[in-house]
Amino acid sequence: MCEKNSRRSRAADFAKLMLGSDELRSIQLLKLLSADAQGNAWPNRRDGLDPPCAKTQIRGVLKNLPFIAPSTPVLKKRPPSGPDWLHEIKHDGSRTQLHVHGERTTVYGRNGSDLSRRLRSICNAHSELHVRSIIVDAEVVACDDTGKPDFRERMFGGRHGVCACCFDTMHLNGRDLRPLPLAERRDALRNLLIEAGHPALRFSDDFPDPDKLLGVASRRGLEGIVSKRRDQPYRSGRNSGWIQVKTATWCEANRDRWELSEKQK
């Protein structure tokens, strides 16, 4: 009974973390998972962060920006390593693009379809972002009963709610950020999300060691990791500067993924 309660407690903590509860807002996603890693594998990225950036005032007419074809990672068996790369968890969700233009918010799917009505909670969350306009690259995630991100929950309703794991920004307050290095774009996004503090908008943190990150993802049955070049501008389409590695445990558990997708069409 004690072991069962302990499992429920860990699952509840992870579910809260994924959904961004106020109590756990200052803890990064993999903080809970790091117990499986050797030593102090995961630094607390909240320590020493720059203060939230100030609101930017821009003159002129605010123009709606069109959907941007997303950057697509190349699938490989092993992740790259070295100081030129950062590494994130690949969340098992739906790729989305979040557009804020003044009072209007639109959520697009991977191919540019408008998902705003289906993801009303994500749209409403953007009222907390202190910007005039922004485009964010993200993954919308739902959790299963154990608190683990699960695509099936996302497809069939998400009983425990959804959140957007945000990992890049292409436009901010009228400025095209795509020519900037990834690290700079992510710094701007991180600061905005910290300032907003909304549970539906989560920053997808990065970690320095791809092998340890991949090991934790495998043990927890997560989809995998994505490695990205720190200095690369945003590139639409297939991008060799983004490398995705899937875990064998996730692949085995998701053999029916194609069949599920076909049933939803």
Catalytic residue among 76, 77, 90, 212: 90
Select from 145, 147, 138, 149 the least CA-distant residue to 105.
138
Helix, strand, or coil here: 237? strand
Residue 182 in tokens = 């990834």
Encode burial over 13-34: b for 16+ CB neighbours within 10 A, e otherwise.
Answer: bbbbbbbbeeebeebbbbbbbb
Give the Å distances, CA to CA, from 155 to 93, 149, 259.
Answer: 9, 12, 12
Cα–Cα distance, 46 to 50 (Å, whole number): 9
Going by C-beta distance under 8 Å and a sequence separation of 6 or more, which residues neighbour residue 210? 79, 80, 81, 85, 87, 225, 227, 245
Question: Is 90 marked active-site?
Answer: yes
Encode burial over 158-192: b for 16+ CB neighbours within 10 A, e otherwise.
Answer: bebbbbbbbbbbbbbbbeebbebebeebbbbbbbb
**What pairs with residue 101 in β-bridges?**
104, 133
Taken in order 66, 125, 60, 174, the sign of the CA dihedral is negative
- Residues classed as catalytic: 90
